[in-house]
Structure 1
Amino acid sequence: MFPKARQAIKHLVADGRYSYLETGSLISIKKNVKDILIPSEEMRIQVYPMDYEEFCDATGSNYELLRQIYNSGTAIGQATNRKLMRDLRIYMAVGGMPQAVEAYVDRKNFSEIDMIKRQIISLYEEDFKKIDDSGRISALYHSIPAQLARDTRKYRITTAIGKKNNTKAEELLYELIDSKTVLPCYNSTNPRVSLTNTKDFGSYKLYLSDTGLFVTLLFIDRPITENNLYAKLLSDKLPANLGYLYENLVAQMMASSGRELFYHTWEKPGSTHYYEVDFLISEGSKVNAFEIKSSGTGKHESIKEFSKKFSQNVKQIYLISQKDVGKEENLLLKPFYFIPFLV
């Protein structure tokens, strides 16, 4: 908010008596640069919402025990798995925004926590209007849960804001991505070569950078997201078609580990349908593939076909669900709370 103070950092650092920490939203930092020189002394640090380890530390949960359970490589057991999944769903409900986490630690109820998250979303929207006062960036942001719900191959700008100037719309989308409030997941057109080098900039999905905000945005049309809705989430009684909420969780966990997000789709032979693998990450010269199931392990045709098609390029294939550790041939079954250790 004070660009001249930012410019003065150069001289303050040269003075040598103090170190300085500057903070601000990326949008404000980018916009408030008129008539100032950006100091070369600045070292930029990307800050993410609190990851699951940080959340556990803040709320008193034993993350190290979770690490030990993972390292043991053995089955967890139904009762323990249920408890660990419920702990993780608390993280999904609250999210990693420090104000929301603090409210949870202070034993605020979920309606109060939801109000805090709504205030954060409102601040985002105010920032978006600094770039484009038409509200189109907010429309792009608000459209994310609905587009994931449709289970389409990619995010569509026109679905969010209609068929207007495509060039301008793409600029607004890049501004949204640049704000770090969302996580882009790009379609890798040929995982045999390189995920980064085969990134399709015209085919991508968008997730929210914080799953707690995602929960609030899902029900933003209501005056306040009621405690009973959060109770349903915590007891795993939300409708089955909200599986993309778990996709967002995995996207956030992968991104907070420093991973760029990729997925892959390809046509089913002789059909109008297609196969899709939800997430891909590089490991050395090979890739690990992840299929996400919100509840049971169910059918998993896509990941099996992916493993066959790219057998020379795949290191591990994972089915991530709420179920215990297991294995089906070369497919490794893992619960959601193990994602930080897999990436």
Structure 2
Amino acid sequence: MIVVIFQYSQRLRADMFKRKIYAALKRWKDESAGSTAMMIEGARRVGKSTIAETFARNEYRSHVLIDWQKAPQAVKDSFLNNMDDLDALFMDLSVYYGVRLYERETLFIFDEVQLFPFARSAVKHLVADGRYDFMETGSLISIKRNVDDILIPSEEESVSMFPLDFEEFLWAKGEELLAEAVRHSFDSRRALSPLLDNKAERLFREYMLVGGMPQAVERYLDTADMGKADRAKRQILRLYTQDIEKYGGSDKERVRRIFDEIPSQLSKHEKKFTLADLGENARGREYRDAFFWLDESYLVNRCVNATDPHVGLSLHSEDSSMKCYMGDTGLLVTHVFADRTYTSNELYRDVLFGKLEVNEGMLVENVVAQQLRASGHRLFFYSRYSRQAEDRMEIDFLLVGEYENAAMKARICPVEVKSTKRYKTVSLDKFKAKFDKRIGTQYVLHPRPMRVDGDRLYLPLYMAHCL
């Protein structure tokens, strides 16, 4: 009985995590009014099913959850046979799942819809019927085998879901006031007090090691043991490896090589992915589909080189030069220690307090990439090699933002990430000098308090999610 209660409390706690995506779903419901379906995309175990169910319970009178991983063939047959008789389909689903349906007050959730692509193509007819709302969740939904022979409905909106960012991690820990203080500090350009700065920095380092996968966060909050959170992350990494084997198709070996190579690639100074490390004869065209698979699965966050930094960054991107970050930094930490069968709480504590030699620059840049991606940014960097030292530069990330000193017109916002308190900004200085008229606010993310220097803003790392 004790075990049952404990499992229930864990499930309840995970359901209660406050997620930013909820507001996007609420806007969809209010503005769409049933005219479109909503697809939630994201990596496996990122919380898609949980947020869909939570939203359904809170915002609708009733809901029907169809998990296509478990749905019997009879349910699939009802879809296949009743597209011309939706009354019969809705009757089948209502009675089979034991849920009374209410016009405009019932939500159907198609969970893991990529496992039954016909249901996704049927959304066009279901939405046109107008009686109920429809939400889908999916992983790998753009992989060829999951879109073959189906018409993707134009009535489908989509939103991406990522692991918890640092602000959501603070909410999960009950630190809402600190989260508000961090956000207010960023908006007002006034540094937090030393007391709050130290607390936010400590919790950010915790977050960097635990990561934002809901299962790992839940385990850590329940036990305060990073070793037990590590077990949850190892289970997720095993699931991802199984997905690669199961769904990677003819590219699965290449996908696996890239995935296994990520920690090594990120440990390099420039962190650009070098294909030659995968094999002497590795070529970009051979690995293009493998990188696409990892990108579409949300297992990685790709960052491509914008060779001519204008506001339209994608117009000048060079896919052959890229960095490949793990989608979750907590998973990266566990991936780094993959040679061990278990990573203890004590080892995590040694990393946390700097007693163990770990490439902190790798973790810091990865966690910043994770925050930027969760905030809706596509990832670009700038790299220029030249024999002339004055022309050689590397900018970690490029964002586009409104610039106050240019009548709020869009400008390039370079972002430099520093993992130590002592550093130089040589590349940023060169970049500003070379592209001055295109540049807006410059950001330096570092393990120090905030300070403002003209149009350059030095931010503590724990404010990365504010950008």
- Pairwise same-fold verdict (TM > 0.5): yes
Q: Which amino acid aligns with 1:295?
A: T
Distance 1:35 1:81, change over 3 A: same
In 2, the alpha carbon distance for the partners of 1:295 and 1:237 equals 15
In 2, the alpha carbon distance for the partners of 1:285 and 1:329 equals 18
Q: RCO (CA 8 Å, sep 6+): is it higher in 1 or 2?
A: 1
1:94 correspondence with 2:194? no
Task: Give the one of 234, 239, 248 matched to 1:118.
Answer: 234
Q: Give the Å deviation of 1:203.
A: 0.8
1:61 alignment counterpart: 175
Q: Give the Å deviation of 1:72.
A: 3.9
2:28 alignment counterpart: none
1:131 alignment counterpart: 248
Q: Give the Å deviation of 1:96.
A: 1.4
2:199 alignment counterpart: 83
Instruction: Answer yes or no: is the 8 Å Cα contact 1:208–1:214 preserved in 2.
Output: yes
In 1, the alpha carbon distance for the partners of 2:390 and 2:280 equals 26
Task: Give the one of 378, 383, 389 matched to 1:265.
Answer: 383
2:109 alignment counterpart: none
Instruction: Answer yes or no: is the 8 Å Cα contact 2:284–2:320 preserved in 1.
Output: no
Higher mean Cα deviation, 4-13 or 240-249? 4-13
Q: Give the Å deviation of 1:161.
A: 4.8
In 2, the alpha carbon distance for the partners of 1:326 and 1:80 equals 15
- 1:10-37 Cα offsets, whole Å, 9 max, x none, are 5555555543333232159753456656
2:275 alignment counterpart: 157
1:230 alignment counterpart: 348
Higher mean Cα deviation, 323-332 or 55-64? 323-332
Task: Give the one of 173, 179, 192 matched to 2:291.
Answer: 173
Task: Give the one of 130, 152, 163 matched to 1:49.
Answer: 163
Q: Of the two, which has the highest radius of gyration?
A: 2
CA RMSD of aligned residues (A): 2.7
Q: Where do residues 1-343 of structure 1 align in structure 2 (5 Å cutoff)? A: 1-6=115-120, 9=123, 12-13=126-127, 16-26=130-140, 31-33=145-147, 38-62=152-176, 63-107=179-223, 109-129=225-245, 130-132=247-249, 134-152=252-270, 154-164=272-282, 166-192=284-310, 194-239=312-357, 241-267=359-385, 270-271=388-389, 274-283=392-401, 284-327=409-452, 331-341=456-466, 343=467
In 2, the alpha carbon distance for the partners of 1:38 and 1:249 equals 33
Distance 1:12 1:335, change over 3 A: same
Q: TM-score, normalised by structure 1?
A: 0.88
Relative to its length, the structure with more helix (as a share) is: 2
SS of the residue 1:44 aligns to? strand
Q: Give the Å deviation of 1:180.
A: 1.7
| Number of corresponding residues | 342
Segments of structure 2 that go 5 or more residues without pairing to the other structure are 1-114, 402-408
In 1, the alpha carbon distance for the partners of 2:235 and 2:141 equals 17
In 1, the alpha carbon distance for the partners of 2:285 and 2:150 equals 29
2:101 alignment counterpart: none
Q: Give the Å deviation of 1:98.
A: 1.4
Segments of structure 1 that go 5 or more residues without pairing to the other structure are none
In 1, the alpha carbon distance for the partners of 2:152 and 2:140 equals 14
Higher mean Cα deviation, 65-74 or 98-107? 65-74
- 1:88-134 Cα offsets, whole Å, 9 max, x none, are 11211221111112212222521111111111111112222222365
Q: TM-score, normalised by structure 2?
A: 0.66
Q: Which amino acid aligns with 1:25?
A: S
- 1:23-59 Cα offsets, whole Å, 9 max, x none, are 2321597534566565554433221112222222222
Distance 1:143 1:307, change over 3 A: same
Distance 1:91 1:137, change over 3 A: same
